[in-house]
Amino acid sequence: MRIMALDVGFKKIGVALSDPLNLTAYPYKVIYRKSNRETFKELLKIVEEKEVKEVVIGLPLDKEGKKSLMAEKIEKFSGKFKEFLKEVGKEVNIVFRDESFTTEEAKELLRSLGKERKELDDVAAAILLKEYLEEITRGS
């Protein structure tokens, strides 16, 4: 069973996955948002194919650690996604984590590797997931 991380934006969603043992995180794909239902179906396909048991969703917080307007929109989107999963009979745990600076970290990581990419969303999601995996490893 894997863990999936999402970097949710207005136009795109970066998707990252863990390996089956939940030791490593890697960028998986970037989904271009359509209607919520179409987007949810695309995410469901990944959940089923990769046997995802948990989804980590990044929330952008401000400097004081408070939810931004975008964070509230992401929470609303996530609630609808959870309802959709329930509707289709999928039980998946959804957790939220602060994703502040993951895009900047993704840019820096790719720059240090000498790679240039227009889309960073999946790399940002992988950074979020890597931090989450480290957090749960420390906790156990």
Quickly list DSSP for 76-119: HHHHHHHHHHHHTT---EEEEEE-TTHHHHHHHHHHHTT---S-
pLDDT score of 36: 94
Distance from the first to the final alpha carbon of the chain: 17
The domain limits of the chain are 2-139
- Higher pLDDT among residues 108 and 25, named by residue: 25
Sign of CA dihedral 37, 38, 42, 48: positive
Please determine, for residue 103, whether its predicted confidence score (pLDDT) is greater than 70. no
Strand partners, 55: 4, 94
The third-level CATH classification (topology) of the domain covering 2-139 is: Nucleotidyltransferase; domain 5 (3.30.420)
User: Model pTM?
Assistant: 0.86
Rg (CA), the chain: 14
- Residue 11, token pair as written in the block: 């136009």
**Of 60, 45, 50, nearest in space to 3 by CA:** 50
pLDDT score of 66: 83
pLDDT band at 113 (very low <50, low <70, confident <90, very high): low
Region 81-109: mean pLDDT is: 84
